[in-house]
Amino acid sequence: MLPPAPALVTTAGGFLLVLSIVAPVAGVLLEFALGERYVRPVVSTVIPVGLAIAAAVLVLLPRSDGHLVYLLGAWPPPLGVALRADGLSAVMLATTAVVICAVAIFAATDFRPQSVEARTPFAFWILLLAIWGALNTIFVAGDLFTLYVALELLTFAAVPLVSLDGRAETLRAALRYLLFALLGSVFYLMGTALLYGLYGTLDIVLLSHRVSAEPGALIAAALMTSGLLAKTALFPLHLWLPPAHAGAPAAASAILSGLVVKGSFFIVVRLWFYVLPALPGFTAAQFLATLGAGAILVGSIVALRQERLKLLVAYSTLAQIGYLFLLFPLALDASGRLETGQALAGGLIQAISHATAKAAMFMAVGSIYAGLGHDRITGISGAARALPLSVMTFALAGFALMGIQPGGASLAKELLLQETARTGQWWWAGVLQVGGMFTAAYVVLVLAHALSPPDRPVALAARPPRGSGLAALALALCSLFLGLLPWEPYLPIPYALESKLFGVEALVKLLVTVLGGVALAILLSPWPHPLAGTVARRDLKTVPGPFRRACLGFGSLVERGDHVLRQWPAAGICMLAVALLLAASMFGAN
Partner 1 sequence: MSAVTVFGLYAAAAVGLGLYGLITTPQPLRKIIAFNLLGSGVFLLFGIVGRRGAAAGFGNDPVPQALVITGVVVAFSATALAIALLLRLFQIAGSTTLNSRAAASPRSDPSGN
Residues lying near partner 1 in the complex (CB under 8 A) = 78-79, 145, 148-149, 152, 155-156, 159-160, 163, 166-169, 171-172, 174-176, 178-179, 182-183, 186, 189-190, 192-194, 196-197, 200, 243, 305, 307, 526-528, 545, 549, 552, 556, 559-560, 563, 566, 568-569, 572-573, 575-576
* DSSP three-state, residue 332: strand
SS percent in the chain: helix, strand, coil, step 5: 75, 5, 25
Nearest-approach distance from CB 461 to partner 1, in angstroms: 23
Looking at beta carbons only, is 179 or 518 nearer to partner 1?
179
Nearest-approach distance from CB 402 to partner 1, in angstroms: 25
Nearest-approach distance from CB 390 to partner 1, in angstroms: 25
Looking at beta carbons only, is 153 or 352 nearer to partner 1?
153
| Angle at 290 (CA atoms; ends 289, 293), nearest 5 degrees | 90
Helical H runs in 335-465? 342-372, 383-386, 388-402, 408-423, 426-451
Give the span between the Cα atoms of 300 and 175, in whole angstroms. Answer: 25
Nearest-approach distance from CB 334 to partner 1, in angstroms: 36
Looking at beta carbons only, is 152 or 488 nearer to partner 1?
152
Q: What single-letter DSSP state applies at residue 496?
A: G
Nearest-approach distance from CB 197 to partner 1, in angstroms: 4
Nearest-approach distance from CB 549 to partner 1, in angstroms: 7
Nearest-approach distance from CB 147 to partner 1, in angstroms: 12
Looking at beta carbons only, is 227 or 464 nearer to partner 1?
227
Question: Rounded to 10 degrees, what is the CA torsion of 74, 76, 80, 85?
Answer: 90
Nearest-approach distance from CB 321 to partner 1, in angstroms: 21
Nearest-approach distance from CB 526 to partner 1, in angstroms: 4
- The closest of 338, 305, 369 to 520, measured between CA atoms, is 305
DSSP characters over 67-136? -EEEEGGGPPTTTS-EEEE-HHHHHHHHHHHHHHHHHHHHHHHHT-TTTSSTHHHHHHHHHHHHHHHHHH
Nearest-approach distance from CB 46 to partner 1, in angstroms: 23
Give the span between the Cα atoms of 36 and 10, in whole angstroms. Answer: 38
**163 CB-near residues (< 8 Å, 6+ apart):** 170, 171, 173, 174, 247, 248
Give the span between the Cα atoms of 567 and 243, in whole angstroms. Answer: 13
**Is 99 in contact with 356 (CB distance < 8 Å)?**
yes
Looking at beta carbons only, is 65 or 307 nearer to partner 1?
307
Looking at beta carbons only, is 72 or 506 nearer to partner 1?
72
Nearest-approach distance from CB 541 to partner 1, in angstroms: 8
**Is 122 in contact with 261 (CB distance < 8 Å)?**
no
Burial of residue 40 (number of CB atoms within 10 Å: 0-12, 13-18, 19+): middle
Looking at beta carbons only, is 373 or 545 nearer to partner 1?
545
Nearest-approach distance from CB 445 to partner 1, in angstroms: 14
Looking at beta carbons only, is 406 or 561 nearer to partner 1?
561
Looking at beta carbons only, is 219 or 471 nearer to partner 1?
219
Question: Rounded to 10 degrees, what is the CA torsion of 93, 26, 245, 464?
Answer: -90
Looking at beta carbons only, is 209 or 566 nearer to partner 1?
566
Straight-line distance from the first to the last Cα atom of the chain, in angstroms, rounded to the nearest whole number: 23
CA 11 from centre of chain: 31
Looking at beta carbons only, is 488 or 559 nearer to partner 1?
559
Looking at beta carbons only, is 186 or 508 nearer to partner 1?
186
Give the span between the Cα atoms of 519 and 540, in whole angstroms. Answer: 13
Instruction: Classify residue 160 as left (phi > 0), alpha (psi -120 to 50) or beta.
Output: alpha
Give the span between the Cα atoms of 141 and 89, in whole angstroms. Answer: 9
- The closest of 213, 274, 210 to 3, measured between CA atoms, is 210
